[in-house]
Structure 1
Amino acid sequence: MARHGARTPFLLQLSLLLLLRPGGTLGCASVAVGSPVVPLGSAVTASCTIQSELCHGLEQGKVRITWMLDNEPVAGSQHRGPGDTEVSNLTLPQFNRTQAKLWCWVEWNGTKQRVGMAEIRAGYPPAKPFNLSCVLNLSDYGLTCQWEQGADSHLPTSVALKCAGSRAQAVTGCTPQGGRSHCTVPRRLLQLYRQMDIWVSATNALGTAESEHLCIDPMDVAKLDPPALQSIQSIPFQTDCVALAWEVARSNAHMELQCELRYRAPEDPAWAVVTGIIGQAGTTQHCGFLFGTQYHFQMRCRRSSARGYWSEWSLDRNYTTHEKAPTGKLDAWWSAWPDGAGGRLEVQLRWMAPQRQEANGRVLGYHVTLSPRRRGRNPPTVCNTTHTQCNFSAPAGTRRVYLSAYNAAGESAPTEVILLERKGQPLAGLWTVPGGERSLWVHWEAPPAPVAAYVLEWQRVSSEPGRCSACWQMERDGAATAALIRDGIEPFQRYNISVYPLYKDAIGVPVHAAAYSKQKAPSYAPKLHLKSISKSDAELCWDPVPVEMQNGFITSYTIFWANSTAEVSSAAVNPSLSSFVIRKLKPSTLYKVHIMASTAAGGTNGTSLTLVTMVLDDIEIQFLFLTLGLIFVLLILLLICFQKNGRVKQQFWPSVPDPANSSLGKWVPAELQQEPLQLPGMREPGLATISTVAVLERAAGKQPSAWAKEPAAETTGSFPTLPQPYVRQEAPGAPGRGWAAAEPCQGLGGSGETVQYAQVVGDGYKGQQQAPLRLYLRSSSTQPLLLDPSPSPKPYENLWFHGAAPHGCPGDGGCPEELPATFPLLQGLRIGGAEELHDCRAL
């Protein structure tokens, strides 16, 4: 049962498809439209009818009808119709498609099926054809007509060429094939030498359109075959006339023809046309041709009624007229300067080639003479050249030369050239205007004096000599204020232009101007160079752009510079300058600089230059080095002074006594204690020896008067036992080393404490000069010597006694007269609380 229930919907769907399919057996559905072809943009109506009585199985269910325009659903209205039918109506207010399919769908019990379809087309009525024209071909006498179609109608359109005789009904002459817009009416449908009505008809589903009717005699539109030129010759000799002969085509021999002749030289921009030639004549003459010139000739004909078409032009026939001696005067220009060595005149003569109407053929060369030709005598020739310039030397004082041209037929009359001085009035003003990419208009303001002619010279700046074929021209109209120059003018190149006014007896001073026919941005910008740099300024320089690469007048140079923080600055520079100083830069900063060269038509950037500003300026660096140099010199001088002068050294670096070792009573130099014992043999002979030891005593209340000197062997007295310091000594004549005791000295005041002094006299080392006497003092005091400004003594010596002994002291040694005042070591010493030092006597 379950399987039977599942099969039922499938059977219902299959039966519905068979019953409702378009063209089905029962035909229970139909689709109708108002019109299958409608104007584009108009409304479209349609209806779909379902007849339930013819569709078995739909009686019990509800039917739903829907619409689809191509693949797009559209909404319609559904209602119940008469006779148990379901009807759906559809209205499309604006149909904007040229072609579409409208489908009717039925949905029953969840199944959707197409039951009907109608195709709709939309477009426009046919456009009116125009420009109808016909030509009769005399080879087969078929009339070929052509026209232009109008706008596309988007609908199938049939086109036909209609024709009708004066008394005959209209017939279709021909139908174009493949969408073409021309066709040929056969000879059997034509009536020659009679008027016929011809037009084009275009028809489609929306209407019919016809072109303008063409009423013609087919023979009036016949296109004849061209004639053939037979011969051309000059008649008579030394005239400018030629005679021509031709032959008409055989198909045109029975017609009255009207022909035209045209000719031109290769240099002519257009053809010259000769009209009114009768075709049956076969020959004609025409004058006005130039001598020695090649011409191209062509000819064509048509019927004399002048209503037919011209035939094609005949094939070219070339002919060169005979030559004649050149005529007219030559335009000449010169430059003259004296030759200082030989006393002659150097002349550069330039001239323009004669025009075609004056050359009368091909010019073979030019003659330049210093005197005119006379009958029966030819003057000597200074130049015989095929060029248009000549350099020659003439006697001083030459004021006239003569120039002539010659060809194969003869020589022209000489042109007198007067070598006038260039001292006349100049022009009042001069300016130029571009006349195109390869031409320039030169305008000037005429001078007050009357002018006979003007000479214009121009030269490309920095161009190679002789690059311009004719860099000058003459304007013979003295009232002219402008001239157009074309020869040798190129865009983006500078030209210097000069204009000379020619007077009756002089040549005016030239006025100059520079010009471009067209400008653009320079080809490249100059390359920057760093000339100098400081901490705040940088001087840049560059080479100007060559004139050939400027492509216009340089209006300015612009310098751009930027630091690492992208702070960009710029400055415009006059184009006449080639250097620039950038100011107000930051010290020790990296900058990138580039230059832009500009013309009126644009600018070009150059390559970038990287520079770094300095920390110090040159003056600051020089000052710093100078200061350091002076300091160094001063240090050297001070060092030299300290090394060479002990007193100076003493003032800056005094010897300060060591308080820890300041007791003279226990003083034994540390260096002496620490000095290792040396063998006698290791010392040089003749070492220092002690010869005399003197002990001084000072009486109470008295100043020491003198220092005694006695041999060390005689030292006696009953002094208390004191520590016995020793000094190094050597006995005279003894090569060894030993110690000698300094005897004590007791003051007479009976204080029980004495100050002992000793004077040691010794010999110098071997090979040394005799040193002055040295006084060695000893004290048992333990008080530090802090008030002594003198340096600490070296072992065995006191620096106070480096000099010579004072005068007035007895013996070989010496002692100061005022010992406490003059000997700083004793100023602060007090032994045993004694207030004064006692006198010592010599022992």
Structure 2
Amino acid sequence: MIPTSKDMKDPPEKPVNLSCMAVQSGRKMSSCVTCTWQPGTRDERLKTTYTLFSSLIVSNKSSKANRSSGYIDFGTFPSFMELAMWVEVENKLGKVRSDILDIYAADLVKTNPPSDVNIISKNNFSRTLLVSWKHPIHVTYVMLKYNIRFCTVGSGDWTEVPPNDTESYKESFRLQYLKPDTEYVVQVRCIHYRGYGYWSDWSANSTARTPEDKPTSKPDLWRVVIPSQVKSERRVQVMCKDPVESNGRIRGYSIKIQDGNWMTVAVNDSDLDSRSQERKIIPLYQIPWSDKRRGLIELKAWNSVGESPQASLGIPKLTQEPASVESLSWFTQQGRLWVKWQPRNVTATGEPYRSEVTEYILEWVSVSDGAMDWQRERRHTRTAAIKGNLQKFNRYNISVYPMYSGWTGKPLTIAAFLEQGAPLEGPSVKVRRTGKNEAELEWMEIPQDKQRGFITNYTIFFITGGKEHSIVVSTDTYSYTVKRMASNSKYVVRVMASTVQGSTNSSDLSFNTLMYAPGQIEAIVVSVCISFLFFIVLTMLCCIYKMDSIKKKIWPPVPDPSNSTIAKWSPDFTSKADTPKESALGDVSIVEVDVFDRKSLCEEDKAGLPLKKDKYLSEEHSSGIGGSSCLSSPHQSVSDSDEGGDEGQTTASTVQYSSVVASCGYKGQTPCPLPLSGSSQTPSFARSESTQPLLDSEEHPEVPESHQRYLRNPYFGRLPGGNDGDSGDLEDLNQMEMKKQGLALRRFCPLEEDFQQTTPTEEGQSPDGQPGPDPSYMPQLSGYRPQC
């Protein structure tokens, strides 16, 4: 800073706060008096000098000084004298002087601290220590008074002895009301006995331990109830802490349960452990305790001097435990864990464990390692800070026990954290079951020592096709079924656990959904099998119900000529006598019919098939009139020989039969009446044979031998015993047979012209209305089924 013109015109600033001091040198006071002051704040650009002045009655002295301090050597300390002290400041612009300090020489004195401070401990005085020291300077120079302070080792909380107790000029003092078996640190200082001058510095630390005394407080007795494998029984672990005022090293404990004898439990703690500020938990006994048992546990601690007062703890019956507190909560404040509870209103009943609450016990257990501790609180306390050494991110189970004159009540427990954080690891996830459109996920709870806080929720993430979906579930859910998933698709899932301070994900897990739902394939197979079985059963029932129709469709009935009613006719003349002349059959044709030519033959029948071959068929060469000409297989034509005809019908593997087709246009099995001689109409004779076997009902092995000759060719014949005189009866019989055969043919496939030509008015009549001659063959009864 460059001085201004105004600064250049001003004189130096006046020094203030002048003070002086004389210190001890050796066994006497130093001859030099040192003074200090506070110079001005103005920046000194000009050369400035400082001079310290003193004035005594006999002489004046001065000496050059620094800007803020200086000293004057008197040669000999001016004891019991009054002097004046001041400072002068001078530069080119002027000179200024401080205020004058008028002071006695005793007010300048500061001696050394007392020397050789010593502490003496006596066995009979367990609460006192004797402190001794030596004067730092001879009394001829300065008469002193002393000040003593002390504290326990490591505390730093000093306690000063009242000044009035040490005003006299002495070299020892006894400290009282100390704690037995406690190590103390003592310091001493001194000053002019009238308070003049300055206090000396504190002396060096001096340490000593008070002697032991018998314990003056009760041991801190507590118990932990352990569930037992034996029914209706508990196990009680008795434990304790040393008395707060143990007054020495506790050597052991004496314990008594109810009315039993006193038992001694020795404690092997070292001196270092016993002098530690931390009170250790000492397990004593583990006792089996019935649920119906009520008892009192008593405990005393003892050391080398004596025993402590007796502590007691009552354990009621399990069914008679007093009530717990009504509510319990916790919170953290300023790095400490606080517990708050609300007591329950309990009316005193006169019983020792039913009276009012006398105190509360706060118990906390570390979930990670099981370490536990407790503390006691007064009866009117509702909120308390836990005094133990709690760890961050560690879960503790805190319980509050109301105590009723030494009897324990029911506890109320709550979990708490001093400080919470994100979990150390995520849940362990696995797929329990997969389906077509769903998957069941299951995960294990994170170990409590790794949760580092209360889990608020779980979040399930599942990814497929580049899209991520999430589902939030509660903290008590450890399995979840994810639905509405795509079938036969790949999914990646993970589960995130969250606390109030953060979240941690599990590792990713991949799986595929199924193409078909479980049991779907089995259901399809079972359904198909049941349907097929139902179809088979239904088909079988239909076959059984329609057996006759199906049998006729597969194996059509083949007429058996041997079973025809014509076979029962007995001719009254020989075959050869009835054989017509060959000229009468000039227009008869023999037709070979193929079973595969059914359509063509039927169409030819409708057009009136002309007869190709003229031949007269005798009775032995005639086959029965059948309706199967369209279905007959081809074969050789019938021989003219009687013998050949018989042989062929007896030994051949096929049944030969033929049908007479009337020229009048009849179709089917009903033949037209033979025309009169000389008529222009000539019947056509169609011949066929079938390869199908005869029906069982058409076989008659019991036919008499007298009819063998007629059974071979039963289609044409006359009634037995017939003659010319019986022509009327025979004509009536033919009319009746033809009526029956006409009715039967209507049930098959008669053409329209057949129905018109077989009316009763036309039967047995010639075209001119006159009765025709007797037919040369008998009409068939119950005619055969037509083959077309």
* Equivalent residue, structure 2, for 1:530: 431
Structure 1 position 273, deviation (Å): 2.5
| CA distance in 1: counterparts of 2:294 and 2:513, whole angstroms | 69
| CA distance in 2: counterparts of 1:161 and 1:695, whole angstroms | 183
Task: Give the partner amino acid of 2:304.
Answer: A
- Assess, with a 3 A threshold, how the Cα gap between structure 1 residues 563 and 187 changes in structure 2: closer, same or farther: farther
* Equivalent residue, structure 1, for 2:454: 553
Q: 2:359 aligns with which of 444, 454, 462?
A: 454
Task: Give the partner amino acid of 1:518.
Answer: E
Q: 1:359 aligns with which of 234, 246, 249?
A: 246
Q: How does 1:679-758 map to 2 (within 5 A)?
A: 696=623, 715-716=639-640, 755-758=686-689
Q: 2:53 aligns with which of 141, 165, 182?
A: 165
| CA distance in 2: counterparts of 1:626 and 1:819, whole angstroms | 57
| CA distance in 2: counterparts of 1:406 and 1:143, whole angstroms | 61
* Equivalent residue, structure 1, for 2:130: 243
* 2:351 equivalent to 1:427: no
Q: 1:500-545: per-residue Cα shift (whole Å, max 9, x none)?
A: 3333485433333333322233333323333445555444332222
* 2:303 equivalent to 1:407: yes
Task: Give the partner amino acid of 2:640.
Answer: T
Q: How does 1:347-496 map to 2 (within 5 A)?
A: 348-355=237-244, 358-369=245-256, 380-381=262-263, 383-385=265-267, 388-391=282-285, 399-415=295-311, 422-434=320-332, 437=335, 439-445=337-343, 447-449=345-347, 451-460=356-365, 462-465=367-370, 467-468=371-372, 471-475=373-377, 477-487=378-388, 489-496=390-397
- Assess, with a 3 A threshold, how the Cα gap between structure 1 residues 417 and 614 changes in structure 2: closer, same or farther: closer
Secondary structure, counterpart of 1:388 in structure 2? strand
| CA distance in 1: counterparts of 2:416 and 2:91, whole angstroms | 64
* Equivalent residue, structure 2, for 1:680: none
- Assess, with a 3 A threshold, how the Cα gap between structure 1 residues 441 and 253 changes in structure 2: closer, same or farther: farther
Over the aligned positions, Cα root-mean-square deviation in angstroms equals: 6.5
Structure 1 position 256, deviation (Å): 4.0
| CA distance in 2: counterparts of 1:462 and 1:213, whole angstroms | 73
Secondary structure, counterpart of 1:554 in structure 2? coil
* Equivalent residue, structure 2, for 1:265: 152
* Equivalent residue, structure 1, for 2:591: none
| CA distance in 1: counterparts of 2:49 and 2:712, whole angstroms | 167
| CA distance in 2: counterparts of 1:304 and 1:717, whole angstroms | 187
Q: 1:144-191: per-residue Cα shift (whole Å, max 9, x none)?
A: 97999999x9xx98998945325799976237xxxxxxx874666999
Secondary structure, counterpart of 2:449 in structure 1? helix
- Assess, with a 3 A threshold, how the Cα gap between structure 1 residues 127 and 482 changes in structure 2: closer, same or farther: farther
| CA distance in 1: counterparts of 2:48 and 2:659, whole angstroms | 171
- Assess, with a 3 A threshold, how the Cα gap between structure 1 residues 250 and 258 changes in structure 2: closer, same or farther: closer
Q: Does structure 2 retain, via aligned residues, the 8 Å contact 1:338–1:346?
A: yes
Structure 1 position 819, deviation (Å): 14
Which 5+ residue runs of structure 2 have no aligned equivalent?
5-11, 269-280, 348-354, 557-593, 602-619, 643-647, 664-680, 704-709, 716-739, 759-774, 779-788
**Using CA pairs below 8 Å that are at least 6 residues apart, which structure has the higher relative contact order?**
2
Secondary structure, counterpart of 1:289 in structure 2? coil
* Equivalent residue, structure 2, for 1:43: none
* Equivalent residue, structure 2, for 1:327: 216
* Equivalent residue, structure 1, for 2:8: none
Task: Give the partner amino acid of 2:450.
Answer: M
* Equivalent residue, structure 2, for 1:598: 498
Q: Does structure 1 retain, via aligned residues, the 8 Å contact 2:21–2:110?
A: yes
| CA distance in 1: counterparts of 2:140 and 2:742, whole angstroms | 170
Q: 1:207-263: per-residue Cα shift (whole Å, max 9, x none)?
A: 99x999996979967765443334211358235222122235569994444443332
Q: Does structure 2 retain, via aligned residues, the 8 Å contact 1:198–1:215?
A: no
| CA distance in 1: counterparts of 2:627 and 2:553, whole angstroms | 33
Q: Does structure 2 retain, via aligned residues, the 8 Å contact 1:442–1:485?
A: no
Secondary structure, counterpart of 1:624 in structure 2? helix
Q: Percent identity?
A: 20
* 2:392 equivalent to 1:500: no
* Equivalent residue, structure 2, for 1:298: 187
Secondary structure, counterpart of 1:549 in structure 2? helix
* Equivalent residue, structure 2, for 1:519: 420
- Assess, with a 3 A threshold, how the Cα gap between structure 1 residues 286 and 580 changes in structure 2: closer, same or farther: same
| CA distance in 2: counterparts of 1:264 and 1:637, whole angstroms | 109
Q: Does structure 1 retain, via aligned residues, the 8 Å contact 2:621–2:713?
A: no
Structure 1 position 626, deviation (Å): 3.2
| CA distance in 1: counterparts of 2:532 and 2:159, whole angstroms | 103
- Assess, with a 3 A threshold, how the Cα gap between structure 1 residues 757 and 497 changes in structure 2: closer, same or farther: same
Q: Does structure 2 retain, via aligned residues, the 8 Å contact 1:501–1:509?
A: yes
| CA distance in 1: counterparts of 2:232 and 2:121, whole angstroms | 54
Q: 1:286 aligns with which of 171, 175, 182?
A: 175
* Equivalent residue, structure 1, for 2:528: 628
Aligned residues: 602
Once structures 1 and 2 are overlaid, which stretch shifts more, 640-649 or 216-225?
640-649
Structure 1 position 301, deviation (Å): 3.9
Once structures 1 and 2 are overlaid, which stretch shifts more, 288-297 or 337-346?
337-346
Which 5+ residue runs of structure 1 have no aligned equivalent?
1-35, 40-125, 176-182, 374-378, 668-692, 719-728, 734-739, 761-772, 775-800
- Assess, with a 3 A threshold, how the Cα gap between structure 1 residues 283 and 533 changes in structure 2: closer, same or farther: same
* Equivalent residue, structure 1, for 2:783: none
| CA distance in 1: counterparts of 2:13 and 2:748, whole angstroms | 145
Structure 1 position 811, deviation (Å): 6.3
* Equivalent residue, structure 2, for 1:314: 203
Secondary structure, counterpart of 1:410 in structure 2? coil
| CA distance in 2: counterparts of 1:149 and 1:461, whole angstroms | 65
- Assess, with a 3 A threshold, how the Cα gap between structure 1 residues 371 and 231 changes in structure 2: closer, same or farther: farther
Q: Tell me the TM-score normalized by structure 1.
A: 0.54
* Equivalent residue, structure 1, for 2:66: 174
Task: Give the partner amino acid of 2:375.
Answer: Q
Q: How does 1:50-89 map to 2 (within 5 A)?
A: none
Task: Give the partner amino acid of 1:492.
Answer: F
Q: 1:647-687: per-residue Cα shift (whole Å, max 9, x none)?
A: 999999999xxxx99548999xxxxxxxxxxxxxxxxxxxx
Q: Does structure 1 retain, via aligned residues, the 8 Å contact 2:185–2:208?
A: yes
Structure 1 position 633, deviation (Å): 5.1
Q: Does structure 2 retain, via aligned residues, the 8 Å contact 1:563–1:589?
A: yes
Q: 1:532-587: per-residue Cα shift (whole Å, max 9, x none)?
A: 4555544433222232223233333333445536364443x222232334445555
* Bigger CA radius of gyration: 2
More helix by share: 2
Q: Does structure 2 retain, via aligned residues, the 8 Å contact 1:199–1:213?
A: no
Task: Give the partner amino acid of 2:186.
Answer: F
Task: Give the partner amino acid of 1:365.
Answer: G
Q: Does structure 2 retain, via aligned residues, the 8 Å contact 1:372–1:402?
A: no
| CA distance in 2: counterparts of 1:130 and 1:715, whole angstroms | 179
| CA distance in 2: counterparts of 1:408 and 1:241, whole angstroms | 19
